Amino acid sequence: MKRTGHFNTPIANGNYLIAKRHRDLVFTSGMTPRSKGVIVHVGTVDSEDAIDDYKDAVELAASNALAAARTVLTEGEQIAGVLTLTVFIAANPGFKKHSQIADFASDHLLEEIGPGAIGTRAAVGVTSLPGGAVVEIQMTAVIGN
């Protein structure tokens, strides 16, 4: 029986699964800042922008990744931690604060999952993301009881 609950399940926007389980591991597809299938944060990050301007977008994408991971849980299971986290940031040339933006995702997951939630991480700047999203997050998580 799949777990249903209080989270909004992300919608796949192509021919892929939003999450795939292998034993006690969950691999998510890249999740953008979408609400009900619609990207709500688009554009690129510029070095002149305030980092906090991107907090909501990153938190929404991280929430979507966590919600996707939860879709493969069975009754009594939970996401015990994130093993790897990749934060893709649509950034203009010259932007250098990728890690600070990725910290919003780490902080959000730590708040949602609790101590021990965070594992390794990569913050990657790219020229564009699907649908013009400002950020995309992919993670591998471990399941616990």
For residue 127, being part of any structural domain is answered with yes
For residue 135, being part of any structural domain is answered with yes
For residue 12, being part of any structural domain is answered with no
For residue 131, being part of any structural domain is answered with yes
For residue 1, being part of any structural domain is answered with no
**107-135 tens-digit pLDDT:** 999 999 998 889 999 999 999 999 999 99
Put simply, whether the predicted model's pTM sits higher than 0.85 gets the answer yes
Q: How many domains does the chain have?
A: 1
List helix spans (H) across the chain.
Answer: 55-70, 98-113
Look up the CATH number of the domain holding residue 86: 3.30.1330.40
Confidence category of residue 85, pLDDT binned at 50, 70, 90:
very high
Q: Distance between CA atoms of 134 and 7, rounded to whole angstroms?
A: 22
For residue 3, being part of any structural domain is answered with no
Q: Which domain holds residue 138?
A: 19-144
**27-78 tens-digit pLDDT:** 999 999 999 889 999 999 999 999 999 999 999 999 999 999 999 999 999 9
Tokens representing 42?
């688009």
